[in-house]
Amino acid sequence: MELKQIKYFIEVAKQEHVTRAADTLHVAQSAVSRQIFNLEAELGVDLFIREGRNVRLTSIGKVFLDRMENAVHVIDDVAQIIEEYTDPEMGTIHIGFPSSVASYILPTAISAFREIYPDVKFQLNQGSYYELKEAVIKGEINMALLGPVPMKEKKLEGTILFSENMAALLPASHPLAGSDSLHLNQLRDDSFVLFPEDFVLRNITIDACKQLGFEPNVSFEGKDIDAIKGLVSAGLGVSLVPEITLVDNLPRATVKKPITQPNVTRTVGVIVPKDRQLLPTEKLFYQFLKEFFMRLEQFQS
């Protein structure tokens, strides 16, 4: 069994089509077909069911795919570890992030880090809260910034970098736009703009409203923070968003108001796997994040 065979197999499984897999791999279709045939012959099982030009995994093929994806991640990590141990300051950091940290938190941290380690490269992967947790667990990435930080996961280690308030974002035409602050109960009759179901920031808002005895009327949904802000800017509802997302980026025709009751907050931090070591360059950035935000908090205090 060769690594090339495994990588060909994984790509065919993803594409469910030999020709498309060959195009992605930049090799001839015949080469991919031959390697898959040799792999199946060596294993003594059919990994795919052929349906014309399309293929789909057999039951044993699905098991094999799961194991081989993990194996390839390990092999790739080892190759990168060997390269980075010769010079950790020139490696690549693979990090995931949700949209709520994309506009300020992550760019600020990377910019400060690159002033010290200018040759380090970053590969950024945006995803939802649960997608990023799963990506770290599976080994697709080794690190992700998240808010709130999961602290009781069997396979993840969470480190809180800071806590922040959620603020109310209102259209400038809203009756409460001129107030200094507001009680969340004052928005019980408003239409809300929130993330879709199963997004953690949606859950934070709904839980806060339920504390006061009402469930928000969700009229519009957006899958990233900019979509949420855009819908509020268009006057289509109100929302609760992390304060950090409004730093230097308050949308036109909107106002930001602090919430005095209840106190709606979230933690922001970084998650890493418990069962795998970070790569050397990733360790540099992980330690930097903890020290950077500690210093920032001390400065703000």
**∠ at Cα 53 (47, 55), nearest 5°?**
25
* CATH assignment at residue 162: 3.40.190.290
- String of DSSP letters for 244-294: GGGTT-PPTTEEEEEEEES--EEEEEEEEESSSPPPHHHHHHHHHHHHHHH
Q: Kindly state whether residues 70 and 215 are assigned to the same domain.
A: no
Q: Kindly state whether residues 111 and 226 are assigned to the same domain.
A: yes
Domain's final residue, options 54, 82, 110 = 82
Q: Residue 79: is its pLDDT beyond 80?
A: no
- String of DSSP letters for 12-62: HHHHTBHHHHHHHHTS-HHHHHHHHHHHHHHHTS--EEEETTEEEE-HHHH
Q: How far is CA 154 from the centre of its chain?
A: 19
Q: Kindly state whether residues 62 and 110 are assigned to the same domain.
A: no
Residue 108 to residue 33: CA distance in whole angstroms: 47
Domain's final residue, options 82, 105, 125 = 82
Q: How many domains, the chain?
A: 2
Tell me the pLDDT of the chain averaged across its residues.
Answer: 91
Q: Kindly state whether residues 151 and 280 are assigned to the same domain.
A: yes
Q: Kindly state whether residues 125 and 78 are assigned to the same domain.
A: no
pLDDT band at 300 (very low <50, low <70, confident <90, very high): low
Q: Residue 298: is its pLDDT beyond 70?
A: no
Task: List, for residues 232-273, the tens digit of each pLDDT value.
Answer: 999 999 999 999 889 877 899 999 999 999 999 999 999 999
Q: Kindly state whether residues 100 and 45 are assigned to the same domain.
A: no
Q: Kindly state whether residues 259 and 164 are assigned to the same domain.
A: yes
Q: Kindly state whether residues 155 and 258 are assigned to the same domain.
A: yes
pTM score, whole prediction: 0.70
pLDDT band at 85 (very low <50, low <70, confident <90, very high): confident
Residue that is written with structure tokens 């009759």 in the block: 189
Q: Kindly state whether residues 177 and 109 are assigned to the same domain.
A: yes
pLDDT band at 89 (very low <50, low <70, confident <90, very high): confident
* CATH assignment at residue 20: 1.10.10.10
- The pLDDT of 55-78, averaged and rounded, is 87
pLDDT band at 119 (very low <50, low <70, confident <90, very high): very high
> Structural domain of residue 51, as residue ranges?
3-82
Q: Residue 14: is its pLDDT beyond 80?
A: yes
Q: Kindly state whether residues 115 and 8 are assigned to the same domain.
A: no
- What pLDDT was estimated at residue 58? 93
Q: Kindly state whether residues 7 and 42 are assigned to the same domain.
A: yes
Residue 118 to residue 111: CA distance in whole angstroms: 9
Task: List, for residues 162-217, the tens digit of each pLDDT value.
Answer: 999 999 999 999 999 999 999 999 999 999 999 999 899 999 999 999 999 999 99
Q: Kindly state whether residues 136 and 158 are assigned to the same domain.
A: yes
With both helix axes pointing from N to C terminus, report the angle between 29-43 and 18-25 in degrees, rounded to the nearest 10.
110
Domain's final residue, options 82, 109, 135 = 82
